[in-house]
């Protein structure tokens, strides 16, 4: 009898086991594994497949019928665009608020703030492409408001996404703008605030409100809805805060 019950449970789990595919902005790449692990505790039969990229690039893929079911953007503009076009079935809701940081792989004197970028010893500056990456757009806005954009724009090395900007900062440039969240990942915690990085004054750029939507491909899918609800839950917010996002 017990054996029959166990077999019935396993068959039922198999029937309801499902995979979902979500598009996730590159800045969330540092937190997504922990988010998935926490989600799996309460939804063991749901496997979440993550496609990472710049928000603009992911939006273009969605508009070209990529089979994603949920989109976690780095801003509200792209998910709003998808919603207005009928490609998202839920209005964008803020799931996290991102912040910019200035990072160097070497110890630097950051006492002059962003003016450090005008120094002759800083020849290459990594930033995310402002045309496709919301963090890149915020970077340009901050530099213009700090009145140093024109002085340093010839030094820019553009990354396709904010995660590529991190890679360039560590390996190919003198300094770079990154998502603050990246500095809380295990392999980045060796960098110390005030020594290798500083947070960019948030008053210099519009808040980076990051929006999530269920896409048309995820309509009437209980597994997609479960992950969507989790991303907006207090537990997920705790994880986002752990990775440097603000409320």
Are 87 and 37 part of one and the same domain? yes
When comparing pLDDT for 8 and 127, which is higher?
127
Residues 152 and 238 in one domain: no
CB 212 within 8 A of CB 83: no
Report residue 170 as tokens.
């560590």
- The tokens describing 60, both together, are 């273009």
- Range of 25's domain? 2-97+209-242
- Considering the domain architecture, whether residues 150 and 72 belong to the same structural domain is answered as no
- Predicted confidence (pLDDT) per residue in 155-166, tens digit: 999 999 888 999
CA 53 to CA 68: how far, in whole Å?
A: 13
Average pLDDT, the chain: 92
72 and 11 together in one domain: yes
> Are both 10 and 85 inside the same structural domain?
yes
| Whether 78 and 51 share a structural domain | yes
d(CA 130, CA 236): 28
Looking at the predicted structure, is the pLDDT value of residue 110 above 90? yes
Residue pLDDT, tens place only, 4-26: 534 344 434 444 458 999 999 99
Same domain, 192 and 107: yes
| Number of domains composing the chain | 2
For residue 160, tell me if it sits in a domain: yes
**pLDDT beyond 50 at 51:** yes
Pick the closest to residue 185 from 163, 168, 169, 207 (CA basis).
Answer: 163
> Does residue 187 surpass a pLDDT of 90?
no
Please state the separation of Cα 138 from the chain's center in Å.
Answer: 14
What is the pTM for the complete model shown? 0.85
**CA–CA distance, 96 with 29 (Å, rounded to integer):** 13
Same domain, 82 and 16: yes
Lowest mean per-residue pLDDT among 113-127, 181-195, 209-223 = 181-195
CB 126 within 8 A of CB 157: yes
In a domain, 43, yes or no: yes
On whether both 179 and 139 belong to a single domain, the answer is yes
CATH code assigned at 68: 3.40.190.10
Q: Specify if 247 maps to a domain.
A: no
């Amino acid at each position: 009898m017990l054996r029959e019950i166990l077999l019935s449970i396993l068959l039922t789990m198999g029937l309801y086991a499902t995979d979902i595919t979500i598009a996730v902005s590159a800045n969330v790449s540092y937190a997504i594994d922990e988010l998935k692990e926490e989600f799996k505790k309460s939804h063991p039969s749901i496997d979440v497949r993550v496609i990472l990229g710049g928000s603009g690039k992911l939006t273009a893929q969605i508009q070209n019928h990529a089979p994603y079911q949920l989109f976690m953007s780095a801003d509200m503009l792209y998910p709003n665009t998808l919603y207005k076009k009928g490609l998202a079935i839920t209005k964008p809701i803020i799931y996290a608020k991102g912040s910019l940081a200035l990072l160097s792989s070497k110890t630097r004197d950051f006492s002059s703030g962003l003016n450090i970028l005008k120094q002759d010893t800083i020849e290459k500056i990594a930033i995310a492409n402002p045309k496709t990456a919301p963090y890149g757009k915020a970077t340009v806005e901050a530099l213009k408001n700090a009145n140093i954009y024109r002085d340093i724009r010839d030094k820019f090395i553009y990354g396709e996404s904010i995660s590529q900007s991190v890679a360039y900062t560590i390996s190919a440039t003198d300094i770079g703008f990154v998502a603050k969240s990246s500095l809380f990942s295990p392999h980045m915690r060796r960098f110390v605030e005030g020594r290798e990085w500083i947070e960019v004054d948030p008053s210099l750029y519009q808040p980076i409100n990051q929006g999530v939507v269920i896409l048309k491909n995820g309509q009437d899918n209980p597994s997609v809805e479960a992950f969507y609800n989790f991303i907006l839950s207090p537990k997920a917010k705790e994880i986002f805060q752990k990775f440097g996002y603000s409320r």
